[in-house]
Structure 1
Amino acid sequence: MTRAAPRKTKPALSQRFQALDMLATLVAVVDPAGHVQFVNNALEDAIGLSRRSITGVPLTDWFTAPELLQNALQGASENEYAVIRYDAHLKRLNHEPLSVHVVLAQSDVPGELVVELLPLEQQARQEREERLIDQAQANKELIRNLAHEIKNPLGGIRGAAQLLQMELDSRELVEYTQVIIHEADRLQTLVDRLLAPHRRAQVVGDVNIHEVCERVRALILAEFPRGLKVVRDYDISIPEFRGDREQLIQAVLNIAHNAAHALKDRIAAGDAELVFRSRVQRQVTFGKRRYRLALELHVIDNGPGVPDEIKDRIFYPLVSGRDGGSGLGLTLAQTFVQQHHGLIECDSEPGRTDFKLLIPLP
């Protein structure tokens, strides 16, 4: 007697849709009548209820204008549209409704529809982050190519000036060749700084972000010993993570140094303040990815703010808001943080400038 082959069972919904929990956007899978079959973690967090509580409930109950979703479900079920998009407001427990962009599409499984909700504020933030990432990548290529183009003829100019100087008897003419050599060396130093982040391999080890902040604090106070108050606001529960300690010190130092220079008038008045604030963020999204935990380090000053004319360009190379600045500090800081899969954002207004470093945690 032969034994019948075991019948293949349909995988559980939670297993089939497990990948949806990795998405930053809010996603629900519903039947043609709109009853919830599955919601991902992001939608759970947004509504404020567990997956178990939401499953089986009409998704339309969670919208301020349920008839819009009902009409969309009907149109999708009757194959009138492949994809339906519209703006709506999602209800949330103990919070104001959330403005979302709704995208409704048929699943590849008959009788299933996928509803994706893109928070409009989050969508704008993601677009801003994408611009920062694209900008940093473009800066990286521009800097690398430009530096190499400058470096080769620069060596020739310096060498020619040295040879010429050896043939000159006039002291006045020698001074001219020394100017050429000095300026060539200055440009060489600038080129080396531009290429530095791309030349040196990361030295990865365990990093305590508060040790990084304390090192930067000591350096800033050594340069500005009077008139500047540096405030620590640390979350000591933040775990260590793998990274390049020296790169992160340089990134934070570049931001803090810029802030201290922007505070020169307040330092003279004796009321300048610089704040290092560390926090842990859970289920945070940046750089198109969702992370369970992330370090959020703020460097906040009470200075005049970033000038309006360069607000959108502060991470561009050679853009500086002060006389004598190289315009490389923030560019290098962004590069170092991105090498840790992170991102730097800036929010500035007169009296308060906040640079926020986001770095994923294990």
Structure 2
Amino acid sequence: MYTNASLKEIRATYAQHLVPQLVTAVVIIDDDLNIQYLNSSAEALFSKSLNRLYQQRFLSIFTHCSISTERLIQVLKTGQDFTDSDVVLEFIENYHITIEVTASVALFNDKEHILLECKQIDKQKQISAEVFQEQQWEAARDLIRGLAHEIKNPLGGLRGAAQLLDKELNPDQQEFTSMIIEQADRLTNLVDRLLGPNQLPRLEMHNIHEVLEKVRQLVSMDNVNQIEILRDYDPSIPDIEIDTEKLQQSLLNIIRNATQILDESGVITLKTRIATNQTINGKQVKLAVKISIIDNGPGIPAEIQDTIFYPMVSGRDDGTGLGLSIAQTLVHQHKGKLSCHSYPGRTEFTILLPLPKRV
């Protein structure tokens, strides 16, 4: 039969030897939200040791965290646990992870502290989100193609009838048929844009930075708000098979979206890197070119972030919702992936283009 003293000793021994070995990241913070303990999994997750983070305010080690201070303090006040399965942590080094967090009250050094159990879920979330978004995107494209053809057929007949009628009318009445023809042409043009590019890319070996420099030059010529455009290129990136015109159009659509919401304090950064072991459209790719377009604007509204690449979805009142959809199509034609991560103060569009295997 165990005594209370021996049970306490057993618990302490298990805590001492097992908690550091847990795969789940364990963080203990005090009532001032200062870090008191990290196990080895938490050190790996945050890429920093306990010695470095001890007594640092938990939220200060991130540039952005989707859990608020008030929510953490509420755990101690009420004693009620909470679990959040979609917490985004943005680090000072400009990379982010998605974790599942359970927060509860735990005794530590004979005082109540907040215990955070964290599990990184980026890969699972990314794969499931990509599969779902790919299915939805394809369904939306098929629906629009069907609607577009249904609209174009009667529009052609309407325009032809207006042209015939125009010949029978006197000049005073021809302004009405001219208006019908003009609006029919406008709708036809809109439908063609909805259908998006239908020609396959003409792939040739090119330097990705030449394309980025051309885009930067074009945007700078129409930079009314004098937005600062910074470059952060990796010169070691080899030439890659691309259609320069199509990729240029994709980049322009993304960057011009940013310039339309930024003011004089706006900054856009064009960044290139080599990315390893990436999943692109369900396939594992060892090496890829990663192009990032980063701005310091207000961010994309949370309610449309999952559908931002669908046709007719826009974060602006005067937007058509076609620019990003076309950009997505053009990147897909390169067997690449276009994604977005956004919160107030930082929006990052990322294009991943697979590098061919070296012989």
Q: Could you tell me which residue of structure 2 aligns to residue 253 of structure 1?
A: 252
Question: How far has the Cα of 1:121 moved from its partner?
Answer: 2.6
Q: Write the distance in 2 (CA, Å) between the matches of 1:237 and 1:93.
A: 33
Q: Write the distance in 2 (CA, Å) between the matches of 1:239 and 1:252.
A: 19
Write out aligned runs for 1:110-259 (5 A). 120-169=121-170, 171=172, 173-198=173-198, 200-259=199-258
Q: Which moved more, 1:174-183 or 1:272-281?
A: 174-183
Query: What amino acid maps onto 1:122 in structure 2?
Result: K
Paired residues in the alignment total 256
Q: Could you tell me which residue of structure 2 aligns to residue 330 of structure 1?
A: 324
Q: Could you tell me which residue of structure 1 aligns to residue 44 of structure 2?
A: 95
Question: How far has the Cα of 1:321 moved from its partner?
Answer: 2.1
CA displacement, residues 15-37 of structure 1 (integer Å, 9 cap, x when unaligned): xxxxxxxxxxxxxxxxxxxxxxx
Q: Write the distance in 2 (CA, Å) between the matches of 1:303 and 1:230.
A: 13
Q: Write the distance in 2 (CA, Å) between the matches of 1:94 and 1:303.
A: 32
CA root-mean-square deviation: 2.8
Aligned match of 1:310 in 295, 304, 313?
Answer: 304
Determine helix, strand or coil for the equivalent of 1:95: helix
Query: What amino acid maps onto 2:157 in structure 1?
Result: G
Q: Could you tell me which residue of structure 2 aligns to residue 49 of structure 1?
A: none
Q: Write the distance in 1 (CA, Å) between the matches of 2:23 and 2:304.
A: 42
Q: TM-score, normalised by structure 2?
A: 0.65
Query: Which runs of 4 or more aligned residues in structure 1 lie more than 6 Å from their structure 2 counterparts after TM superposition?
Result: 90-94, 97-100
Structure 2 residue 286 is matched with structure 1 residue 292: yes
Q: Write the distance in 2 (CA, Å) between the matches of 1:318 and 1:361.
A: 32
CA displacement, residues 310-334 of structure 1 (integer Å, 9 cap, x when unaligned): 2222111112222432211101111
Q: Write the distance in 2 (CA, Å) between the matches of 1:170 and 1:93.
A: 80
Q: Write the distance in 2 (CA, Å) between the matches of 1:176 and 1:358.
A: 50
Query: What amino acid maps onto 1:282 in structure 2?
Result: T
Query: What amino acid maps onto 2:180 in structure 1?
Result: I
Whether the aligned pair in 2 keeps the contact of 1:126 and 1:286 (CA below 8 Å) is no
Please list every run of 5 or more consecutive structure 2 residues that lacks an aligned counterpart in the other structure: 1-17, 25-38, 47-96, 101-118
Question: How far has the Cα of 1:93 moved from its partner?
Answer: 11
Q: Write the distance in 2 (CA, Å) between the matches of 1:243 and 1:326.
A: 27
Q: Write the distance in 1 (CA, Å) between the matches of 2:251 and 2:42.
A: 38
Q: Which moved more, 1:152-161 or 1:218-227?
A: 218-227
Determine helix, strand or coil for the equivalent of 1:294: strand
Whether the aligned pair in 2 keeps the contact of 1:296 and 1:356 (CA below 8 Å) is yes
Whether the aligned pair in 2 keeps the contact of 1:136 and 1:334 (CA below 8 Å) is no
Determine helix, strand or coil for the equivalent of 1:355: strand
Determine helix, strand or coil for the equivalent of 2:349: strand
Whether the aligned pair in 1 keeps the contact of 2:196 and 2:329 (CA below 8 Å) is no
Please list every run of 5 or more consecutive structure 1 residues that lacks an aligned counterpart in the other structure: 1-59, 67-89, 101-117
Q: Write the distance in 2 (CA, Å) between the matches of 1:93 and 1:128.
A: 25
Q: Write the distance in 2 (CA, Å) between the matches of 1:253 and 1:94.
A: 40
Determine helix, strand or coil for the equivalent of 1:274: strand
Question: How far has the Cα of 1:92 moved from its partner?
Answer: 6.4
Question: How far has the Cα of 1:286 moved from its partner?
Answer: 3.2
Q: Could you tell me which residue of structure 1 aligns to residue 3 of structure 2?
A: none
Q: Write the distance in 2 (CA, Å) between the matches of 1:313 and 1:92.
A: 34
Decide whether aligned partners of structure 1 residues 252 and 163 sit closer, same or farther in structure 2, where only a CA change above 3 A counts.
same
Query: What amino acid maps onto 2:165 in structure 1?
Result: L
Question: How far has the Cα of 1:355 moved from its partner?
Answer: 0.8
Write out aligned runs for 1:52-131 (5 A). 64=22, 95-96=44-45, 120-131=121-132
Whether the aligned pair in 2 keeps the contact of 1:136 and 1:335 (CA below 8 Å) is no
